[in-house]
Chain A
Amino acid sequence: MPASPRSFVVHAVDNVATLLDRAEAGATITVLGDGHVTQIEAREVIEPGHKIALCAIAADQPIIKFGVRIGRATRDIAPGQWVHLNNCASFLDERSSTLDLHSGAATDTRYA
Protein backbone atom coordinates (compact mmCIF):
# COMPACT_ATOMS: atom_id res chain seq x y z
CA MET A 1 0.00 0.00 0.00
CA PRO A 2 1.73 3.23 -1.14
CA ALA A 3 1.78 6.24 1.21
CA SER A 4 -1.14 8.64 0.91
CA PRO A 5 -0.45 11.50 -1.58
CA ARG A 6 0.14 14.82 0.21
CA SER A 7 -1.31 18.26 -0.40
CA PHE A 8 -0.67 21.63 1.26
CA VAL A 9 -3.03 24.46 2.29
CA VAL A 10 -1.41 27.90 2.59
CA HIS A 11 -4.14 29.86 4.41
CA ALA A 12 -7.01 28.84 6.69
CA VAL A 13 -9.65 30.44 4.40
CA ASP A 14 -8.40 28.72 1.21
CA ASN A 15 -10.89 26.53 -0.68
CA VAL A 16 -8.12 24.71 -2.60
CA ALA A 17 -4.97 22.77 -1.62
CA THR A 18 -1.84 22.22 -3.75
CA LEU A 19 -0.75 18.63 -4.44
CA LEU A 20 2.81 17.76 -3.39
CA ASP A 21 2.53 14.23 -4.87
CA ARG A 22 0.56 12.78 -7.79
CA ALA A 23 -2.92 11.59 -6.82
CA GLU A 24 -4.87 8.86 -8.67
CA ALA A 25 -8.66 9.04 -8.98
CA GLY A 26 -10.19 7.77 -5.73
CA ALA A 27 -7.00 8.31 -3.69
CA THR A 28 -7.34 9.66 -0.15
CA ILE A 29 -5.13 12.74 0.04
CA THR A 30 -3.50 13.94 3.25
CA VAL A 31 -4.00 17.71 3.65
CA LEU A 32 -1.06 19.46 5.39
CA GLY A 33 -0.78 23.09 6.41
CA ASP A 34 -3.37 25.53 7.74
CA GLY A 35 -6.60 24.03 6.41
CA HIS A 36 -9.70 22.85 8.28
CA VAL A 37 -9.80 19.41 6.62
CA THR A 38 -7.04 16.82 7.02
CA GLN A 39 -8.13 14.41 4.27
CA ILE A 40 -9.93 14.62 0.95
CA GLU A 41 -10.72 12.09 -1.77
CA ALA A 42 -9.49 12.94 -5.28
CA ARG A 43 -12.24 12.61 -7.92
CA GLU A 44 -9.73 12.47 -10.77
CA VAL A 45 -5.98 12.25 -11.43
CA ILE A 46 -4.23 15.39 -10.12
CA GLU A 47 -0.55 16.14 -10.76
CA PRO A 48 1.87 17.64 -8.21
CA GLY A 49 1.73 21.47 -8.13
CA HIS A 50 -1.93 21.41 -9.19
CA LYS A 51 -4.92 22.30 -7.03
CA ILE A 52 -7.76 20.23 -5.52
CA ALA A 53 -11.09 21.69 -4.33
CA LEU A 54 -11.50 21.24 -0.57
CA CYS A 55 -15.24 21.99 -0.63
CA ALA A 56 -18.05 22.57 -3.14
CA ILE A 57 -17.48 25.83 -5.06
CA ALA A 58 -20.43 27.21 -7.04
CA ALA A 59 -20.02 28.83 -10.46
CA ASP A 60 -18.91 32.50 -10.21
CA GLN A 61 -17.65 32.01 -6.64
CA PRO A 62 -13.98 32.94 -6.01
CA ILE A 63 -11.18 30.39 -5.88
CA ILE A 64 -9.22 31.26 -2.73
CA LYS A 65 -5.51 30.44 -2.27
CA PHE A 66 -2.98 32.30 -0.09
CA GLY A 67 -6.11 33.82 1.52
CA VAL A 68 -6.88 35.87 -1.63
CA ARG A 69 -9.02 35.46 -4.77
CA ILE A 70 -6.79 33.95 -7.46
CA GLY A 71 -9.66 33.50 -9.92
CA ARG A 72 -13.37 32.71 -10.28
CA ALA A 73 -15.10 29.37 -10.82
CA THR A 74 -16.48 29.17 -14.37
CA ARG A 75 -18.75 26.21 -13.44
CA ASP A 76 -19.81 24.33 -10.29
CA ILE A 77 -16.85 22.50 -8.75
CA ALA A 78 -17.30 19.47 -6.46
CA PRO A 79 -15.05 18.67 -3.48
CA GLY A 80 -12.06 16.60 -4.64
CA GLN A 81 -12.12 17.96 -8.20
CA TRP A 82 -9.05 19.27 -10.00
CA VAL A 83 -9.19 23.10 -10.14
CA HIS A 84 -7.48 24.48 -13.24
CA LEU A 85 -7.98 26.26 -16.56
CA ASN A 86 -11.20 24.36 -17.39
CA ASN A 87 -13.11 25.57 -14.31
CA CYS A 88 -11.20 28.63 -13.01
CA ALA A 89 -10.59 31.92 -14.85
CA SER A 90 -8.37 34.91 -14.13
CA PHE A 91 -10.08 38.23 -13.33
CA LEU A 92 -7.55 39.98 -15.60
CA ASP A 93 -5.92 37.71 -18.14
CA GLU A 94 -8.52 37.01 -20.82
CA ARG A 95 -6.31 34.32 -22.37
CA SER A 96 -6.19 32.07 -19.30
CA SER A 97 -9.39 30.19 -20.20
CA THR A 98 -8.29 29.55 -23.79
CA LEU A 99 -5.08 27.66 -22.96
CA ASP A 100 -4.66 23.92 -23.39
CA LEU A 101 -5.75 22.31 -20.12
CA HIS A 102 -2.79 19.94 -19.85
CA SER A 103 0.16 21.70 -21.54
CA GLY A 104 -0.84 25.33 -20.90
CA ALA A 105 -0.04 26.02 -24.57
CA ALA A 106 -1.83 28.91 -26.28
CA THR A 107 -4.62 27.87 -28.65
CA ASP A 108 -5.49 31.34 -29.98
CA THR A 109 -2.32 31.94 -32.03
CA ARG A 110 -2.45 31.02 -35.73
CA TYR A 111 0.49 29.06 -37.17
CA ALA A 112 -0.86 28.91 -40.72
Chain B
Amino acid sequence: MPEWTSTTWSGYLRPDGSKGVRDIVLVIYTVECARHVAHAIAQGETDTHVIGFPGCYDNQYAVNLMLALARHPNVGAVLAVGLGCEYTQPKKLAEVVRASGRLADWFYIQDLGGTRPSVEHGKRIVRQMRDQLRATTPRVPMTVADLSIGCECGGSDGTSGLAGNPVVGALFDRIVDAGGIAIFEEVVEMIGLRDVLAQRAATPEARQQLVATYDKAEAYCRSVRQWSVSPGNFAGGLTTIEEKSMGAFAKSGSRPIQGVIKVSQRPPGPGLWLLDSVPDPHYMQFGYTNPNDTEGIMDLIAAGCQLVLFVTGRGSVIGSPISPLIKVTGNSHTYRRMHEDMDFDAGRVLSGELTLHQAADELGQLVVQVASGMPSKPESLGHREYFIMYKHQDTPSLEVGCRA
Protein backbone atom coordinates (compact mmCIF):
# COMPACT_ATOMS: atom_id res chain seq x y z
CA MET B 1 0.00 0.00 0.00
CA PRO B 2 1.39 3.45 -0.88
CA GLU B 3 2.46 5.54 2.11
CA TRP B 4 -0.09 8.36 1.56
CA THR B 5 -2.98 5.95 2.15
CA SER B 6 -1.99 5.69 5.83
CA THR B 7 -1.33 9.40 6.41
CA THR B 8 -3.45 10.79 9.26
CA TRP B 9 -4.90 14.28 9.36
CA SER B 10 -7.33 16.12 11.63
CA GLY B 11 -10.97 16.21 10.47
CA TYR B 12 -14.28 17.45 11.90
CA LEU B 13 -16.55 14.97 13.70
CA ARG B 14 -20.30 15.45 13.18
CA PRO B 15 -22.94 14.34 15.71
CA ASP B 16 -24.14 11.70 13.19
CA GLY B 17 -20.67 10.13 13.22
CA SER B 18 -19.56 11.33 9.79
CA LYS B 19 -16.19 13.04 9.37
CA GLY B 20 -15.64 16.21 7.36
CA VAL B 21 -12.52 17.78 5.85
CA ARG B 22 -13.99 21.31 6.03
CA ASP B 23 -16.20 23.07 8.62
CA ILE B 24 -18.73 24.95 6.51
CA VAL B 25 -21.72 27.14 7.38
CA LEU B 26 -24.20 26.61 4.54
CA VAL B 27 -26.77 29.23 3.54
CA ILE B 28 -29.66 27.72 1.54
CA TYR B 29 -32.28 29.74 -0.32
CA THR B 30 -35.60 28.09 -1.13
CA VAL B 31 -36.64 30.16 -4.17
CA GLU B 32 -34.91 32.40 -6.73
CA CYS B 33 -36.49 35.45 -5.03
CA ALA B 34 -34.29 34.82 -1.95
CA ARG B 35 -31.08 34.27 -3.92
CA HIS B 36 -29.67 37.79 -3.63
CA VAL B 37 -30.21 37.96 0.14
CA ALA B 38 -28.60 34.53 0.64
CA HIS B 39 -25.50 35.53 -1.32
CA ALA B 40 -25.32 38.92 0.43
CA ILE B 41 -25.36 37.12 3.81
CA ALA B 42 -22.43 34.88 2.81
CA GLN B 43 -20.48 37.69 1.10
CA GLY B 44 -17.22 38.30 3.00
CA GLU B 45 -17.92 35.60 5.64
CA THR B 46 -15.22 32.94 5.95
CA ASP B 47 -16.15 29.27 5.37
CA THR B 48 -19.72 30.27 4.48
CA HIS B 49 -21.08 28.80 1.25
CA VAL B 50 -24.40 29.14 -0.60
CA ILE B 51 -26.66 26.72 -2.43
CA GLY B 52 -30.30 27.12 -3.42
CA PHE B 53 -33.19 26.04 -5.58
CA PRO B 54 -34.68 28.56 -7.99
CA GLY B 55 -38.16 27.06 -8.40
CA CYS B 56 -41.21 28.37 -6.51
CA TYR B 57 -43.12 25.13 -7.07
CA ASP B 58 -41.31 22.46 -5.05
CA ASN B 59 -39.83 19.18 -6.31
CA GLN B 60 -39.05 16.06 -4.27
CA TYR B 61 -35.79 15.45 -6.11
CA ALA B 62 -34.57 19.00 -5.38
CA VAL B 63 -35.65 18.86 -1.71
CA ASN B 64 -33.82 15.52 -1.31
CA LEU B 65 -30.72 17.08 -2.87
CA MET B 66 -30.81 20.12 -0.55
CA LEU B 67 -31.27 17.90 2.52
CA ALA B 68 -28.37 15.66 1.47
CA LEU B 69 -26.12 18.69 0.97
CA ALA B 70 -27.27 20.29 4.25
CA ARG B 71 -26.31 17.13 6.20
CA HIS B 72 -23.00 16.67 4.40
CA PRO B 73 -19.94 15.68 6.49
CA ASN B 74 -18.24 19.00 5.60
CA VAL B 75 -21.24 21.05 6.82
CA GLY B 76 -21.53 22.01 10.48
CA ALA B 77 -24.37 24.54 10.38
CA VAL B 78 -27.18 25.62 8.06
CA LEU B 79 -29.22 28.81 7.63
CA ALA B 80 -32.26 28.40 5.36
CA VAL B 81 -33.61 31.62 3.85
CA GLY B 82 -37.00 31.86 2.14
CA LEU B 83 -38.97 34.73 0.68
CA GLY B 84 -42.22 33.66 2.33
CA CYS B 85 -44.63 32.49 -0.37
CA GLU B 86 -42.79 29.57 -2.08
CA TYR B 87 -43.71 25.88 -1.78
CA THR B 88 -40.29 24.73 -0.45
CA GLN B 89 -40.24 25.23 3.33
CA PRO B 90 -37.05 26.58 4.95
CA LYS B 91 -38.43 25.74 8.40
CA LYS B 92 -38.67 22.04 7.48
CA LEU B 93 -35.14 22.06 6.07
CA ALA B 94 -33.83 23.55 9.34
CA GLU B 95 -35.75 20.98 11.44
CA VAL B 96 -34.28 18.02 9.54
CA VAL B 97 -30.77 19.47 9.77
CA ARG B 98 -31.19 20.10 13.53
CA ALA B 99 -32.33 16.48 13.96
CA SER B 100 -28.95 15.41 12.52
CA GLY B 101 -27.29 17.20 15.46
CA ARG B 102 -26.11 20.18 13.42
CA LEU B 103 -26.79 23.85 14.12
CA ALA B 104 -29.67 25.15 12.02
CA ASP B 105 -31.86 28.24 11.75
CA TRP B 106 -34.24 29.75 9.19
CA PHE B 107 -36.29 32.87 8.43
CA TYR B 108 -38.55 34.47 5.82
CA ILE B 109 -37.42 37.72 4.20
CA GLN B 110 -41.02 38.99 4.17
CA ASP B 111 -41.22 38.61 7.99
CA LEU B 112 -38.05 40.64 8.54
CA GLY B 113 -39.06 43.57 6.37
CA GLY B 114 -36.89 43.31 3.26
CA THR B 115 -33.33 43.01 1.99
CA ARG B 116 -31.26 45.05 4.47
CA PRO B 117 -32.73 43.74 7.74
CA SER B 118 -32.63 40.18 6.33
CA VAL B 119 -28.97 40.43 5.39
CA GLU B 120 -28.08 41.92 8.80
CA HIS B 121 -30.07 39.25 10.64
CA GLY B 122 -28.61 36.49 8.47
CA LYS B 123 -25.04 37.67 9.02
CA ARG B 124 -25.61 37.73 12.81
CA ILE B 125 -26.85 34.13 12.71
CA VAL B 126 -24.04 32.93 10.44
CA ARG B 127 -21.35 34.53 12.65
CA GLN B 128 -22.84 33.05 15.84
CA MET B 129 -22.99 29.62 14.24
CA ARG B 130 -19.42 29.87 12.99
CA ASP B 131 -18.13 30.92 16.43
CA GLN B 132 -20.02 28.05 18.04
CA LEU B 133 -18.65 25.56 15.47
CA ARG B 134 -15.08 26.76 16.05
CA ALA B 135 -15.52 26.35 19.80
CA THR B 136 -17.36 23.05 19.86
CA THR B 137 -16.75 20.90 16.75
CA PRO B 138 -14.68 17.90 17.93
CA ARG B 139 -11.55 17.23 15.89
CA VAL B 140 -10.91 13.64 14.95
CA PRO B 141 -8.10 11.76 13.18
CA MET B 142 -8.92 10.82 9.58
CA THR B 143 -7.27 8.69 6.91
CA VAL B 144 -8.15 7.76 3.33
CA ALA B 145 -10.37 5.01 4.80
CA ASP B 146 -12.71 7.79 6.05
CA LEU B 147 -12.90 9.47 2.63
CA SER B 148 -15.61 9.42 0.01
CA ILE B 149 -14.18 10.74 -3.23
CA GLY B 150 -16.02 11.39 -6.48
CA CYS B 151 -14.94 11.95 -10.06
CA GLU B 152 -16.55 13.85 -12.90
CA CYS B 153 -15.13 14.70 -16.32
CA GLY B 154 -15.90 17.56 -18.68
CA GLY B 155 -14.33 19.51 -21.53
CA SER B 156 -12.81 16.19 -22.61
CA ASP B 157 -10.27 15.81 -25.39
CA GLY B 158 -8.14 12.95 -26.75
CA THR B 159 -5.99 12.96 -23.60
CA SER B 160 -8.89 12.45 -21.14
CA GLY B 161 -9.30 8.76 -21.98
CA LEU B 162 -5.55 8.14 -22.27
CA ALA B 163 -4.19 9.94 -19.21
CA GLY B 164 -6.61 12.04 -17.12
CA ASN B 165 -9.25 9.37 -16.47
CA PRO B 166 -6.85 6.37 -16.21
CA VAL B 167 -4.77 8.21 -13.56
CA VAL B 168 -7.95 8.88 -11.55
CA GLY B 169 -8.92 5.21 -12.08
CA ALA B 170 -5.59 4.08 -10.61
CA LEU B 171 -6.16 6.50 -7.68
CA PHE B 172 -9.68 5.06 -7.17
CA ASP B 173 -8.17 1.54 -6.95
CA ARG B 174 -5.85 2.72 -4.17
CA ILE B 175 -8.65 4.49 -2.25
CA VAL B 176 -10.88 1.40 -2.47
CA ASP B 177 -7.99 -0.88 -1.37
CA ALA B 178 -7.41 1.43 1.64
CA GLY B 179 -11.06 1.03 2.72
CA GLY B 180 -12.46 4.31 1.38
CA ILE B 181 -15.40 5.05 -0.91
CA ALA B 182 -15.00 5.99 -4.58
CA ILE B 183 -17.98 7.18 -6.66
CA PHE B 184 -18.22 7.75 -10.41
CA GLU B 185 -21.17 8.78 -12.56
CA GLU B 186 -22.17 9.85 -16.12
CA VAL B 187 -24.00 6.66 -17.10
CA VAL B 188 -24.85 8.13 -20.52
CA GLU B 189 -21.11 8.06 -21.17
CA MET B 190 -20.99 4.31 -20.54
CA ILE B 191 -23.16 3.54 -23.55
CA GLY B 192 -21.85 0.51 -25.41
CA LEU B 193 -20.25 -0.92 -22.26
CA ARG B 194 -23.18 -3.03 -20.97
CA ASP B 195 -21.09 -6.22 -20.74
CA VAL B 196 -18.01 -4.41 -19.40
CA LEU B 197 -20.14 -2.84 -16.63
CA ALA B 198 -21.87 -6.12 -15.79
CA GLN B 199 -18.52 -7.95 -15.52
CA ARG B 200 -17.32 -5.44 -12.93
CA ALA B 201 -20.23 -6.15 -10.54
CA ALA B 202 -19.19 -7.23 -7.04
CA THR B 203 -22.36 -9.31 -6.43
CA PRO B 204 -25.33 -10.69 -8.42
CA GLU B 205 -27.48 -7.86 -6.93
CA ALA B 206 -24.96 -5.25 -8.07
CA ARG B 207 -24.94 -6.84 -11.55
CA GLN B 208 -28.73 -6.56 -11.73
CA GLN B 209 -28.61 -2.90 -10.64
CA LEU B 210 -25.84 -2.03 -13.13
CA VAL B 211 -27.62 -3.67 -16.06
CA ALA B 212 -30.96 -2.00 -15.19
CA THR B 213 -29.23 1.39 -14.85
CA TYR B 214 -27.43 0.87 -18.15
CA ASP B 215 -30.62 -0.18 -19.95
CA LYS B 216 -32.50 2.90 -18.65
CA ALA B 217 -29.72 5.18 -19.94
CA GLU B 218 -29.51 3.44 -23.34
CA ALA B 219 -33.30 3.65 -23.72
CA TYR B 220 -33.07 7.36 -22.92
CA CYS B 221 -30.37 7.89 -25.57
CA ARG B 222 -32.31 5.87 -28.16
CA SER B 223 -35.55 7.72 -27.44
CA VAL B 224 -33.97 11.12 -28.01
CA ARG B 225 -31.62 9.73 -30.74
CA GLN B 226 -28.82 11.54 -28.97
CA TRP B 227 -25.61 9.86 -27.90
CA SER B 228 -23.30 11.76 -25.59
CA VAL B 229 -20.77 12.54 -28.30
CA SER B 230 -20.38 15.77 -30.28
CA PRO B 231 -18.84 17.03 -33.55
CA GLY B 232 -15.93 18.40 -31.52
CA ASN B 233 -15.29 14.91 -30.14
CA PHE B 234 -15.26 13.41 -33.66
CA ALA B 235 -12.99 16.16 -35.00
CA GLY B 236 -10.67 15.47 -32.06
CA GLY B 237 -10.29 11.84 -33.14
CA LEU B 238 -13.04 9.98 -31.28
CA THR B 239 -14.87 7.81 -33.83
CA THR B 240 -17.71 6.19 -31.85
CA ILE B 241 -19.71 6.62 -28.63
CA GLU B 242 -18.20 3.28 -27.51
CA GLU B 243 -14.70 4.80 -27.78
CA LYS B 244 -15.70 7.92 -25.85
CA SER B 245 -17.49 5.79 -23.24
CA MET B 246 -14.46 3.62 -22.63
CA GLY B 247 -12.28 6.70 -22.12
CA ALA B 248 -14.78 8.09 -19.61
CA PHE B 249 -15.23 4.71 -17.90
CA ALA B 250 -11.46 4.53 -17.29
CA LYS B 251 -11.97 6.83 -14.29
CA SER B 252 -13.70 3.96 -12.46
CA GLY B 253 -10.41 2.07 -12.18
CA SER B 254 -10.48 -1.72 -11.99
CA ARG B 255 -12.09 -2.71 -8.67
CA PRO B 256 -15.50 -4.44 -8.38
CA ILE B 257 -18.55 -2.13 -8.42
CA GLN B 258 -20.58 -2.61 -5.21
CA GLY B 259 -23.85 -1.23 -6.59
CA VAL B 260 -25.77 1.78 -7.87
CA ILE B 261 -26.91 4.77 -5.80
CA LYS B 262 -29.35 7.44 -6.93
CA VAL B 263 -29.01 11.19 -6.43
CA SER B 264 -29.01 12.22 -2.72
CA GLN B 265 -28.32 8.67 -1.49
CA ARG B 266 -25.06 7.76 0.21
CA PRO B 267 -23.31 4.45 -0.46
CA PRO B 268 -24.24 1.97 2.31
CA GLY B 269 -20.68 0.67 2.58
CA PRO B 270 -17.07 1.11 1.41
CA GLY B 271 -15.78 0.39 -2.09
CA LEU B 272 -16.56 1.58 -5.61
CA TRP B 273 -20.09 2.79 -6.47
CA LEU B 274 -21.90 4.05 -9.57
CA LEU B 275 -24.12 7.15 -9.15
CA ASP B 276 -27.18 7.18 -11.44
CA SER B 277 -28.33 10.72 -12.31
CA VAL B 278 -30.51 9.75 -15.28
CA PRO B 279 -34.18 10.74 -14.72
CA ASP B 280 -36.61 7.89 -14.05
CA PRO B 281 -39.69 7.58 -16.29
CA HIS B 282 -42.36 10.05 -15.11
CA TYR B 283 -45.60 11.36 -16.54
CA MET B 284 -44.02 14.80 -17.07
CA GLN B 285 -40.80 13.41 -18.66
CA PHE B 286 -38.73 16.20 -17.18
CA GLY B 287 -35.10 16.52 -16.14
CA TYR B 288 -31.98 16.17 -18.25
CA THR B 289 -29.32 13.60 -17.38
CA ASN B 290 -26.20 15.77 -17.30
CA PRO B 291 -27.19 19.34 -18.19
CA ASN B 292 -23.75 20.65 -17.21
CA ASP B 293 -20.61 19.65 -15.31
CA THR B 294 -21.66 21.47 -12.13
CA GLU B 295 -24.82 19.37 -11.79
CA GLY B 296 -22.79 16.15 -11.78
CA ILE B 297 -20.40 17.57 -9.20
CA MET B 298 -23.32 18.55 -6.92
CA ASP B 299 -24.72 15.01 -7.26
CA LEU B 300 -21.37 13.56 -6.15
CA ILE B 301 -21.18 15.95 -3.17
CA ALA B 302 -24.77 15.03 -2.23
CA ALA B 303 -23.59 11.38 -2.16
CA GLY B 304 -21.31 12.40 0.73
CA CYS B 305 -18.06 12.97 -1.19
CA GLN B 306 -15.78 15.19 0.92
CA LEU B 307 -13.58 15.79 -2.15
CA VAL B 308 -14.31 15.67 -5.89
CA LEU B 309 -11.86 15.21 -8.75
CA PHE B 310 -12.65 16.91 -12.05
CA VAL B 311 -10.89 15.61 -15.17
CA THR B 312 -10.67 18.01 -18.11
CA GLY B 313 -8.63 17.99 -21.32
CA ARG B 314 -9.53 21.31 -22.87
CA GLY B 315 -9.62 23.16 -19.52
CA SER B 316 -12.38 24.35 -17.18
CA VAL B 317 -12.73 27.06 -14.55
CA ILE B 318 -15.48 25.79 -12.26
CA GLY B 319 -15.35 24.98 -8.56
CA SER B 320 -17.87 23.77 -6.00
CA PRO B 321 -19.33 24.68 -2.61
CA ILE B 322 -19.14 22.35 0.45
CA SER B 323 -16.45 20.00 -0.92
CA PRO B 324 -13.17 21.06 -2.57
CA LEU B 325 -12.82 20.36 -6.30
CA ILE B 326 -9.41 19.16 -7.53
CA LYS B 327 -8.76 19.76 -11.24
CA VAL B 328 -6.85 17.11 -13.17
CA THR B 329 -5.90 17.48 -16.82
CA GLY B 330 -4.36 14.87 -19.12
CA ASN B 331 -3.18 17.64 -21.43
CA SER B 332 0.14 19.22 -20.39
CA HIS B 333 -0.43 22.12 -22.78
CA THR B 334 -3.74 22.92 -21.02
CA TYR B 335 -1.97 22.63 -17.65
CA ARG B 336 0.66 25.20 -18.65
CA ARG B 337 -1.89 27.53 -20.27
CA MET B 338 -4.32 27.41 -17.29
CA HIS B 339 -1.95 26.57 -14.43
CA GLU B 340 -3.68 28.93 -11.99
CA ASP B 341 -6.85 26.81 -12.34
CA MET B 342 -5.36 23.33 -12.75
CA ASP B 343 -4.24 21.30 -9.72
CA PHE B 344 -2.61 18.32 -11.43
CA ASP B 345 -0.89 17.56 -14.76
CA ALA B 346 -1.59 13.92 -15.67
CA GLY B 347 -0.24 14.59 -19.19
CA ARG B 348 3.20 13.67 -17.85
CA VAL B 349 2.09 10.03 -18.25
CA LEU B 350 1.87 10.53 -22.03
CA SER B 351 5.23 12.31 -22.28
CA GLY B 352 6.86 9.42 -20.41
CA GLU B 353 7.84 11.64 -17.45
CA LEU B 354 5.78 9.54 -15.01
CA THR B 355 4.22 6.08 -15.09
CA LEU B 356 0.48 5.78 -14.54
CA HIS B 357 1.11 4.43 -11.05
CA GLN B 358 3.57 7.16 -10.09
CA ALA B 359 1.03 9.74 -11.26
CA ALA B 360 -1.75 8.09 -9.22
CA ASP B 361 0.41 8.18 -6.08
CA GLU B 362 1.38 11.82 -6.66
CA LEU B 363 -2.32 12.67 -7.10
CA GLY B 364 -3.08 10.69 -3.92
CA GLN B 365 -0.59 12.82 -1.99
CA LEU B 366 -2.33 15.94 -3.31
CA VAL B 367 -5.73 14.53 -2.23
CA VAL B 368 -4.36 14.02 1.30
CA GLN B 369 -2.95 17.58 1.36
CA VAL B 370 -6.28 19.09 0.29
CA ALA B 371 -8.14 16.87 2.77
CA SER B 372 -5.74 18.15 5.45
CA GLY B 373 -6.80 21.74 4.75
CA MET B 374 -4.66 22.99 1.86
CA PRO B 375 -7.01 24.87 -0.50
CA SER B 376 -7.36 23.42 -4.01
CA LYS B 377 -6.90 25.85 -6.92
CA PRO B 378 -10.67 26.39 -7.45
CA GLU B 379 -11.10 26.95 -3.68
CA SER B 380 -8.31 29.55 -3.66
CA LEU B 381 -9.90 31.37 -6.58
CA GLY B 382 -13.27 31.47 -4.77
CA HIS B 383 -15.13 29.21 -7.23
CA ARG B 384 -18.34 27.86 -5.63
CA GLU B 385 -20.66 27.13 -8.57
CA TYR B 386 -23.77 25.09 -7.76
CA PHE B 387 -26.78 23.84 -9.75
CA ILE B 388 -30.01 22.30 -8.46
CA MET B 389 -32.83 21.71 -10.92
CA TYR B 390 -36.20 20.04 -11.37
CA LYS B 391 -35.89 16.30 -12.02
CA HIS B 392 -37.72 13.10 -11.15
CA GLN B 393 -36.16 10.01 -9.59
CA ASP B 394 -37.94 7.22 -7.69
CA THR B 395 -36.31 7.26 -4.26
CA PRO B 396 -38.88 5.90 -1.78
CA SER B 397 -36.72 6.59 1.27
CA LEU B 398 -33.34 8.25 1.42
CA GLU B 399 -32.59 6.48 4.68
CA VAL B 400 -32.38 3.13 2.85
CA GLY B 401 -29.08 4.07 1.30
CA CYS B 402 -27.73 6.16 4.18
CA ARG B 403 -25.04 5.14 6.57
CA ALA B 404 -25.95 5.94 10.15
Which A residues fall within an 8 A CB radius of B? 8, 10, 18-20, 32, 47-51, 63, 65-66, 68-71, 83-85, 88-93, 95-96, 99, 102-106
CA distance A66 to B247 in the complex (A): 8
A70 and B239 contacting across the interface, CB-CB below 8 Å? yes
- Given A49-B157, A49-B238, A99-B234, 10 new contacts (CB under 8 A): A18-B237, A49-B236, A51-B239, A66-B246, A70-B243, A88-B240, A90-B192, A91-B192, A92-B240, A96-B241
Residues of A within 8 A of B233 (CB): 104
B242 close to chain A: CB less than 8 A: yes
CA distance A102 to B235 in the complex (A): 6
CA distance A96 to B191 in the complex (A): 14
Interface string of B225-259 (1 = CB under 8 A from A): 10101111111111111110011001000000000
Chain A nearest Cβ from B255, distance in angstroms? 16
A-B contact pairs, 25 of them (CB 8 A): A8-B350, A32-B350, A48-B237, A50-B158, A50-B237, A66-B247, A68-B246, A70-B242, A70-B246, A71-B239, A71-B242, A85-B234, A88-B239, A88-B240, A90-B239, A90-B241, A91-B242, A92-B191, A92-B241, A95-B225, A96-B240, A102-B235, A104-B231, A104-B233, A105-B231
Residues of B within 8 A of A91 (CB): 192, 240, 242
- Taking CB as reference atom, which chain B residue is nearest A87? B239
User: Which residues of chain B from 151 to 198 have any CB-CB distance to chain A below 8 Å in the complex?
Assistant: 157-159, 161-162, 166, 191-193, 196
Chain B nearest Cβ from A58, distance in angstroms? 18
B196 and A68 contacting across the interface, CB-CB below 8 Å? yes
B162 and A92 contacting across the interface, CB-CB below 8 Å? no
CA distance A8 to B160 in the complex (A): 13
A66 and B250 contacting across the interface, CB-CB below 8 Å? yes
Residues of A within 8 A of B246 (CB): 65-66, 68, 70
Specify which of A63, A69, A91 lies most central, judged by the most chain B CB atoms within 10 Å of its CB.
A69
Chain B nearest Cβ from A95, distance in angstroms? 8
Which B residues fall within an 8 A CB radius of A? 157-159, 161-162, 166, 191-193, 196, 218, 225, 227, 229-243, 246-247, 250, 350, 352
In the complex with contacts A68-B196, A99-B231, A104-B231, A49-B237 CB distance below 8 A: yes
Chain A nearest Cβ from B149, distance in angstroms? 23
CA distance A10 to B229 in the complex (A): 21
Partner of B237, one of A10, A19, A96, A99: A19
CA distance A63 to B243 in the complex (A): 10
CA distance A4 to B355 in the complex (A): 21
CA distance A20 to B239 in the complex (A): 16
In the complex with contacts A66-B161, A103-B231, A103-B235, A93-B241 CB distance below 8 A: yes
Residues of A within 8 A of B247 (CB): 66
Residues of B within 8 A of A51 (CB): 237, 239
A83 and B191 contacting across the interface, CB-CB below 8 Å? no
Residues of B within 8 A of A63 (CB): 239
- Taking CB as reference atom, which chain B residue is nearest A84? B239
Chain A nearest Cβ from B211, distance in angstroms? 16
Residues of A within 8 A of B225 (CB): 95
Residues of A within 8 A of B162 (CB): 8, 10, 18
Residues of A within 8 A of B250 (CB): 66
A84 and B237 contacting across the interface, CB-CB below 8 Å? yes
Residues of A within 8 A of B161 (CB): 10, 66
Residues of B within 8 A of A70 (CB): 192, 239-240, 242-243, 246
Residues of A within 8 A of B230 (CB): 104
Residues of B within 8 A of A19 (CB): 237
Chain B nearest Cβ from A9, distance in angstroms? 10
Partner of A92, one of B196, B227, B237: B227
In the complex with contacts A8-B350, A92-B192, A83-B239 CB distance below 8 A: yes
